[in-house]
């Protein structure tokens, strides 16, 4: 499941992970990327980049995973889309089945 919830080691830096975009809505096509928003006060640009590198370059995953820090999103329409259509699949309290 999204490579053990985006690598166990990185979980200390975020509280919640939300899948959004075509994969969350269900209208994805073969080869569509996976869009994920992370929420966390300890989540820095360096940590986010390390997670991206780990998932997209070092692990054998057949899809590209695009990860954003929700707090750094400046496009209000994108935030509204994530809030409305996003599916939480990890939180510190509970892991969700998609």
* Domain regions of the chain by residue span: 2-91
Nearest to 67 by CA among 77, 80, 54: 54
Predicted local confidence at residue 66, as pLDDT: 94
A 10 A CB-CB count for 97 gives 5
φ/ψ bin of 6: left (φ > 0), alpha (ψ from -120 to 50), beta (otherwise): left
Express each pLDDT in 31-58 by its tens digit: 889 999 999 988 889 988 888 888 888 7
Nearest to 87 by CA among 19, 28, 26, 41: 19
| Statement: the pTM of the whole predicted model exceeds 0.85 | no
Q: Please provide the CATH number assigned to the domain covering 2-91.
A: 3.30.460.10
State the Cα–Cα distance between residues 95 and 98, nearest whole angstrom: 10
Q: Could you tell me the two tokens for 78?
A: 């994108």
Average pLDDT, the chain: 84
């Amino acid at each position: 499941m999204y490579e053990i919830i985006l690598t166990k080691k990185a979980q200390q830096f975020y509280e919640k992970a939300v899948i959004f975009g075509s994969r969350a809505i269900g209208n994805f096509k073969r080869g569509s990327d996976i869009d994920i928003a992370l929420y966390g006060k300890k989540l820095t640009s360096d940590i986010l980049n390390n997670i991206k590198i780990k998932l997209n370059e070092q692990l054998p995953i057949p899809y590209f995973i695009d990860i954003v820090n929700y707090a750094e999103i400046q496009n209000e329409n994108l935030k509204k889309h994530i809030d409305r259509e996003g599916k939480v699949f990890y939180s510190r309290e509970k892991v969700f089945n998609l």
